[in-house]
Amino acid sequence: MQLPRLFTIGFDGLTATDQLLSLIEAGLGGVILFRRNIESPEQVLRLIGNLKRAARRPLVVSIDQEGGRVARLRGNPWAPVPAMRVFGEAAEAERRVRAVAALLARELRAVGIDLDFAPVLDVDTNPANPVIGDRSFSRDPLAVAELGAAFVEEMQRGGVAACGKHFPGHGDTDTDSHVDLPRLRRSRTDLERIELAPFRAAIEAGVAAVMTAHVVSDALDPDWPATLSPTAMHLLREGLAFHGVIVSDDLQMKAIADRWPIGEAAWRALAAGCDQLLVCENLTAAEQAIAGIAAALERGVLEEERVREAAARWDELAERYARPAAGTEGLAWLDSAGHRARIAEVLDGLV
């Protein structure tokens, strides 16, 4: 049983280390790129190519390329995409969202990126929220639902898997889960009407993945954050009929890391219903998380069938979206007049 298959991990540097290549050769599920891994389109293409050529099974390369303040690819030649709120408030919002999602997908595919952790499906209902804000399309759940589904359809039509986040909703909290554990105090009725509506729409649109929130929802499970809550994951899987990949948010965020050791957090997230686990800060933590799952299997607190089910779902996503190392034709397009003209057309009147 290849336990590394259950993980998408972050790493330091512009090139692959022996430690990273060893995990990839052992069957790692994916890698996620951050600004610390990016120097230029040529370097990104080369890095991803080296990672994918080292893999014995399809490796999914992912990134957070939402637009606005959460965009890892910045500067020329990348499109200077504003926050999704700008699109949500624009005339012809759905047309514009479809256009920008298609543009982002083509940019990502040009360098070999397979999965974008976007769109944000949180509804921005709390002005005191320090982490969502204009990352959300709107303060109106119906608008978020419509625009989120449009983004998903166009991103995936462009050959890049989309991931809706952060289930069951991070928009009405007043705490950033990077630094502490937020609590969502909605009633179940309001949760259904506000937070869940965009996720239902994205699922109907065929979204490949959904990311969990490190948020305690009083209406679902007052004791555990959604990432570690079987009740919350059951709602997503059975109540919303989601059959794709459930991805945990980064298990090294303080909402989780300050309360559970990484090995325990990993097996609890998997047991709750997550299929792919994010460990974004360092490779040693990823190895500790893998060891934690192995120990949980040995103790009998985690079932082998759950591990096989999670790996199978990830393999289905990888089969559909993970491509071999990309050639240089994408680089030529990124530096072309046609690309620049497309950016101007998509962003006309917005920036």
Q: Strands, DSSP E only, in 196-344?
A: 209-212, 216-217, 245-247, 277-279
Candidates 64, 114, 122, 249; catalytic one = 249
> Residue 120 gets which letter from DSSP?
B
Q: Strands, DSSP E only, in 137-290?
A: 161-167, 183-184, 209-212, 216-217, 245-247, 277-279
Quote the tokens at residue 49.
């190519």
Q: Please list, in sequence order, all residues whose beta carbon lies within 8 angstroms of the beta carbon of residue 59, skipping any fewer than 6 positions away.
A: 24, 28, 29, 30, 31, 51, 52, 318, 322
Rounded Cα gap, residues 22 and 269, in angstroms: 24
Q: Please list, in sequence order, all residues whose beta carbon lies within 8 angstroms of the beta carbon of residue 229, skipping any fewer than 6 positions away.
A: 217, 220, 221, 223, 272
- Per the annotation, the verdict on 178 as an active-site residue is yes
Q: Which residue has the tokens 């997550």?
A: 274
- Neighbouring CB atoms inside 10 A of 260's CB total 18
- Per the annotation, the verdict on 234 as an active-site residue is no
Candidates 140, 176, 178, 180; catalytic one = 178
> Residue 14: how many CA atoms within 13 Å on its side-chain side?
9
Query: What are the catalytic residues?
Result: 178, 249
